[in-house]
């Protein structure tokens, strides 16, 4: 058995360190302990194990020893590419389901069957317009219904192209995908076809399988990210800048604490409402009120629109319970560790599942549908109130750690702030700064934390290094939690920024009455990766270039989730370079690896040649940042822009733009 890591080796977050120490003292096992106990299987870790039929599992040793084909004759490259496609499908499917769930809720709301209202009618009009829906002289609910039906078409139509791709895709990229025959028809059809092509005896061509992976990236991007964000903004409001608190110190021993965890804001928005309305019941139970805290991306959704504080990110989700003050953890879908139930059983916390397709043995279930949203939310809040009396004071220990951080940077908010500098042409100040080199490029830090990795270290180190070199950093998902907790979303983090970047952040901040914009801009949850994508589309269209020509990168230093891979693939399809700091499990095939990383020297196609962007796999955050800066400079040169004097001259070239 491997040696257990110390709490400092597990996380750089002092609150996580304190609670993990407490958990270990109380004999409570968490994901960090299980990560120490597990040894990764070398075959699985390199993608060479095939389990797609009952003849197998077949595994191919990449060192050439033993059988070199599966029993069916599948080659090493086929097996690795097929496994990779399966991962991308597992990433795209939950995001597409997210889009569909929200579309259904919008439809029911518009038809008066679900208790939601349209909080941003202006966005509704813009989205309807973009989708080619007539808005003139029509009622809000009538337009909302038409938008919802257009969204649902993207899960039903048998011919054509995803409506959301036609609407949100950059025209130049769409033309490229069309030329390659990659345009998805409907998300469900594509996902079913993807599962079919990975089934035994179907697609065996590694290149075709990887192209199938790109389709999954597009499905994730348009039926998952863009659709979810657009419809959620319509229903719950488009985020504006908000100051909120992060980390375990947001728990309140005097109040009834409810953690909302998962991804869909459909239920959690209602819990916000009912936590306020049932306050008198909480007071009657002897508490000082109800305190809602967020975990993972539900946390991000509520943070962005409601300023609800965030307790923690993915890898430390169980530790919120270890504080001993959590009356209930409500979960919907995605990134919910089944382990929360074992931890909850050591305290008084009730785990409440809410979707019929996401249950956990031992947890209680309150069935949620948009039409019973109010009843479900009330029932959940009342359960939490009832649990307050069961709290064991001997087990209560809340770390005092918390940080203030800004969030709420939707594209609308960013453009709004920029227009304080230039009302006629809001993007001009940003573009001028990029052209002059004051801002060297833009990076989106996305993705997760991972119990096998030292929590926050990769996310924070990559961010600091990029900031130092004047890269404007935006962030989403759990990586945004890492940055917020370590002062990269408040004024303190400005010390990490290079001079040029700091001057721009201050100038824009001053124009909107702040001392400065924060060093990194929180753009939301993982589905909100649509927001940086929209920003890039706007910038590229203004400059009349392809998104892939812009000096921009995406990076997920600490990911655990296939969703991060499918989001990354979406950006790769645009020609954006994407760094991943955790192995994407393709190393077993040199062919697959080099096709993705653009390192193949033969005349055949690779990602870089096809789209002008490639996968960068690098576990060391400093080297990763250096490689990203290198690519940023390469793209600056190709655009004829100045390059910082400290930039190394790369031997790399941009192949296909
Ligand atoms: Ni994204 Fe959000 Fe967090 Fe990772 Fe999971 S919560 S959808 S997958 S772990 S960022
Ligand atoms: Fe083995 Fe082929 Fe079956 Fe995979 S599909 S388990 S390689 S026989």
Per-residue pLDDT of 110-168, as tens digits, reads 999 999 999 999 999 999 999 999 999 999 999 999 999 999 999 999 999 999 999 99
Count Cβ neighbours within 10 Å for each residue of 329-362 and write b for 16 or more, e otherwise.
bbbbbbbbbebbbbbbebbbbbbbbbbeeeebee
pLDDT above 70 for 646: no
Residue range 248-395 forms a domain whose CATH class is alpha beta
Atom of ligand 1 nearest to the CA of 561: 8
pLDDT above 60 for 558: yes
Going by CA atoms, what residue is nearest to atom 4 of ligand 1? 448
Q: What's the pTM value of the predicted model, to 2 decimals? A: 0.96
Atom of ligand 1 nearest to the CA of 300: 2
Say if residue 574 carries a ligand binding annotation: no
pLDDT above 90 for 605: no
Strand pairing report for 403-407 and 242-246: antiparallel
Strand pairing report for 520-524 and 441-445: unpaired
pLDDT above 90 for 470: yes
DSSP-H helix ranges across 76-186: 76-110, 121-130, 140-153, 163-168, 171-179
Q: Do domains 248-395 and 410-656 have the same CATH topology?
A: yes
pLDDT tens digits for range 562-601 = 999 999 999 999 999 999 999 999 999 999 999 999 887 7
Say if residue 296 carries a ligand binding annotation: no
Section 85-111 average pLDDT: 98
**CA 203 to chain centroid:** 29
CA angle 322/324/325 to nearest 5° reads 125
**pLDDT, mean over the chain:** 95
Residue range 82-236 forms a domain whose CATH class is mainly alpha
Q: Does the beta carbon of 297 lie inside 6 Å of ligand 1?
A: yes
Q: Using CA atoms, how far apart are residues 590 and 456, in angstroms rounded to an integer?
A: 30
**Which phi and psi (to 5°) does residue 516 adopt?**
-170, 160
Best residue among 59, 67, 72 to mutate for probing ligand 2's pocket (most ligand atoms within 8 Å of CB) is 72
Max Cα separation, the chain?
74
Going by CA atoms, what residue is nearest to atom 2 of ligand 2? 72
Best residue among 200, 202, 206, 209 to mutate for probing ligand 2's pocket (most ligand atoms within 8 Å of CB) is 200
What pLDDT sits at residue 656?
36
**Which phi and psi (to 5°) does residue 294 adopt?**
-105, 150
The domain ranges of the chain are 82-236, 248-395, 410-656
DSSP-H helix ranges across 345-427: 373-387, 411-419
Section 358-379 average pLDDT: 97
Q: How many CB atoms lie within 10 A of CB 73?
A: 9
Q: Which of 308, 188, 179, 33 is nearest to 573 (CA)?
A: 179
pLDDT above 80 for 1: no
pLDDT tens digits for range 487-504 = 999 999 999 999 999 999
What pLDDT sits at residue 655?
43
Section 458-481 average pLDDT: 98
Section 438-463 average pLDDT: 97
Q: Which CATH number fits domain 410-656: 3.20.19.10, 3.40.50.2030, 2.130.10.30, 3.40.1160.10?
A: 3.40.50.2030
What pLDDT sits at residue 603?
59
630 C-alpha to center of ligand 2: Å? 41
Which residue has tokens 């040793």?
Answer: 61
What pLDDT sits at residue 654?
47
What pLDDT sits at residue 648?
53
187 C-alpha to center of ligand 2: Å? 27
Q: Does the beta carbon of 478 lie inside 6 Å of ligand 1?
A: yes
List Cβ neighbours of 545 (8 Å cut-off, separation of 6 or more).
Answer: 172, 639
Section 184-201 average pLDDT: 97
Say if residue 346 carries a ligand binding annotation: no
**Which phi and psi (to 5°) does residue 312 adopt?**
-165, 175
Say if residue 202 carries a ligand binding annotation: no
Section 11-25 average pLDDT: 98
Q: Does the beta carbon of 314 lie inside 6 Å of ligand 1?
A: yes
DSSP 222: I
pLDDT tens digits for range 223-274 = 999 999 999 999 999 999 999 999 999 999 999 999 999 999 999 999 999 9
pLDDT above 50 for 657: no
Section 444-457 average pLDDT: 97
Give the pLDDT band of residue 5 (cuts 50, 70, 90). Answer: very high
DSSP symbols for 410-465: -HHHHHHHHHTT-SS-TTHHHHHHHHHTSS-EEEEE-----TTS-BTHHHHHHHHH
What radius of gyration, in Å, describes the C-alpha atoms of the chain?
Answer: 24
pLDDT above 70 for 651: no
């Amino acid at each position: 058995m491997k040696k257990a890591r110390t709490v400092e080796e597990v996380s750089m977050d002092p609150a996580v360190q304190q609670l993990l120490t407490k958990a270990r003292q109380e004999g409570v096992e968490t994901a960090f302990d299980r990560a120490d106990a597990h040894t990764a299987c070398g075959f699985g870790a390199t993608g060479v194990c095939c389990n797609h039929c009952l003849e197998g599992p077949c595994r191919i040793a990449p060192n050439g020893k033993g059988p070199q084909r599966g029993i069916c004759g599948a080659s090493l490259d086929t097996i690795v590419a097929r496994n990779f496609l399966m991962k991308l499908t597992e990433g795209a499917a939950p995001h597409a389901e997210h889009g569909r769930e929200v579309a259904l809720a919008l439809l029911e709301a518009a038809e008066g069957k679900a208790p939601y209202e349209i909080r941003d009618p202006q966005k509704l009009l813009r989205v309807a317009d973009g989708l080619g829906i007539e808005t003139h002289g029509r009622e809000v609910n009538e337009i909302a219904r038409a938008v919802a039906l257009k969204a649902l078409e993207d899960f039903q139509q048998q011919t054509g192209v995803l409506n959301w791709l036609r609407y949100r895709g950059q025209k130049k990229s769409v033309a490229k995908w069309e030329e390659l025959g990659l345009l998805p028809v409907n998300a469900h059809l594509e996902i079913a076809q993807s599962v079919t092509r990975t089934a035994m005896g179907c697609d065996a061509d590694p290149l075709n399988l990887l192209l199938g992976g790109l389709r999954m990236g597009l499905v994730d991007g348009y039926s998952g990210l863009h659709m979810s964000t657009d419809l959620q903004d319509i229903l719950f409001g488009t985020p504006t800048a908000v100051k909120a608190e992060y980390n375990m110190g947001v728990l309140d021993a005097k109040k009834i604490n409810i953690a909302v965890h998962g991804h869909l804001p459909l239920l959690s928005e209602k819990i916000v409402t009912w936590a306020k309305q049932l306050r008198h019941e909480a007071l009657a139970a002897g508490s000082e009120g109800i305190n809602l805290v967020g975990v993972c991306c539900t946390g991000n959704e509520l943070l962005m629109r409601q300023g609800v504080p965030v307790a923690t990110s993915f890898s430390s989700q169980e530790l919120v319970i270890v504080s001993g003050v959590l009356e209930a953890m409500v979960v919907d879908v995605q990134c919910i560790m089944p382990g929360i139930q074992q931890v909850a059983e050591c305290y008084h916390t009730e785990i409440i599942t809410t979707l019929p397709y996401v249950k956990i043995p031992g947890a209680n279930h309150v069935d949620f549908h948009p039409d019973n949203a109010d009843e479900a939310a009330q029932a959940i809040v009342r359960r939490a109130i009832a649990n307050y009396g069961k709290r064991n004071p001997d087990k209560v220990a809340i770390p005092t750690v918390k940080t203030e951080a800004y969030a709420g940077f939707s594209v609308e908010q960013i453009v709004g702030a920029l227009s304080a500098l230039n009302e006629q042409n809001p993007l001009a100040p940003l573009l001028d700064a990029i052209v002059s080199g004051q801002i060297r490029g833009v990076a989106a830090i996305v993705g997760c934390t991972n119990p096998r990795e030292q929590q926050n270290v990769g996310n924070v180190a990559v961010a600091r290094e990029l900031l130092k070199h004047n890269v404007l950093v935006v962030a989403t998902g759990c990586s945004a939690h890492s940055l917020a907790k370590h002062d990269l979303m408040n004024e303190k983090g400005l010390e990490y920024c290079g001079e040029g970047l700091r001057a721009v952040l201050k100038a824009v901040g001053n124009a909107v009455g702040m001392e400065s914009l924060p060093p990194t801009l929180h753009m939301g949850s993982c589905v909100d990766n649509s927001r940086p994508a929209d920003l890039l589309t706007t910038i590229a269209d203004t400059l009349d270039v392809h998104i892939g020509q812009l000096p921009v990168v995406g990076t997920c230093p600490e990911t655990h989730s296939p969703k991060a891979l499918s989001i990354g693939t979406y950006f790769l399809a645009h020609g954006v370079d994407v760094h991943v700091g955790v192995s994407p499990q393709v190393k077993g095939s040199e062919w697959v690896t080099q096709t993705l990383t653009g390192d193949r020297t033969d005349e055949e196609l690779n990602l870089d040649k096809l789209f002008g962007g490639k996968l960068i796999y690098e576990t060391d955050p400093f080297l990763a940042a250096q490689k990203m800066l290198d690519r940023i400079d390469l793209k600056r040169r190709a655009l004829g822009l100045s390059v910082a004097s400290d930039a190394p001259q790369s031997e790399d070239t941009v192949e296909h733009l």
